[in-house]
Amino acid sequence: MRNLVPTLIGAMLTSFAIVSVAPQASAAPKAGSVYATKKAECTRKADLKKWGIHRIQRSNWINDCIAGG
């Protein structure tokens, strides 16, 4: 019985440490995920427009869209 109590306490502390650390890692968004989402949305909007041969204007429009302008 004396050996069981420290083992149970150790197991409880270990499980508490794992549970308390795990949500913080999964809740933190990736640094590039917001930019990637915004870029994908602006690229999709740019694909709906008729740019023809004006690829530089399209690129500038996407950059302005990402910047929020």
Number of domain units in the chain: 1
> 45: domain range?
32-69
pLDDT digits (tens, 9 = 90+) for 16-37: 666 565 555 555 556 678 889 9
pTM: 0.52
Contacts of 35 (CB under 8 A, 6+ apart): 66
Instruction: Spell out the SS3 assignment of the chain.
Output: CCCHHHHHHHHHHHHHHHHHHHHHHHHCCCCCHHHHHHHHHHHHHHHHCCCCCCHHHHHHHHHHHHHCC
Residue 20 lies in a domain: no
Q: What's the mean pLDDT when you consider all of the chain?
A: 80
Residue 55 lies in a domain: yes
Amino acid at 34: V
Residue 19 has what pLDDT?
57
Residue 59 lies in a domain: yes
